[in-house]
Structure 1
């Protein structure tokens, strides 16, 4: 589902992560995350973490999206991600999964997990 990939990529953008309106549109109030570090977050703690972020020239690269239909209104989105510095250095490789739910008006992220993985080749989107 293209909309889920678009919304996932939106959440990778600093400007979106700093907008309370966008965060409330994209993230479900009962959101839970198990981060790549093993740290757990809920809606309030993820908002607090994002509010503390600083602008960076490092970007998140994501690829190989796969959408798995769990229920008509529940979708599992799997993909790979890595950080790419302004100098092209690649680090923090991870496999990620997100569960998106349709609330009747929009899709919202309800669960996210990142797991460190071995380096992989970056595909150019």
Structure 2
């Protein structure tokens, strides 16, 4: 489980990287076509809408980091990860959130995210 937890943490952190967020092939390698996200605003994003949104995201110096990362294996090929995220925006207060993701090992052996939710935190 420790190796899987470290692997999924690396995958989550890749999604924080601007060059990954602005690359369709990189996003397609990390997100399942069945992907859904419930954003902090309550908006439901699908695979197509989140990829389109991320590809349009400007490179604006935002730094993202995570802490308190935990992994729980729910089934042999399904894992839940939870963590706290901090988004540091230049000249603005940091934004804190609680995050959860479901990762599934696909038939090709790759782990891809199928669900994500973020909730703003104090």
For this pair of structures, how many residues does the alignment match? 117
Give the CA deviation at 1:86. Answer: 4.3
| Pair 1:78-2:78 in alignment | no
Normalised TM-score (structure 1): 0.88
Q: What's the counterpart of residue 20 of structure 1?
A: 24
Normalised TM-score (structure 2): 0.91
- 1 or 2, which has the higher helix percentage? 2
Unaligned runs of at least 5 residues, structure 2: none
Give the CA deviation at 1:72. Answer: 1.1
- Give CA-to-partner distance per residue, 1:79-104, whole Å, 9 cap, x none: 001111346x6422100000000003
Q: Give me the CA root mean square deviation.
A: 1.2
> Structure 1 segments of 4 or more deviating over 6 A?
none
Q: How does 1:1-125 map to 2 (within 5 A)?
A: 1-86=5-90, 90-104=93-107, 105-118=109-122
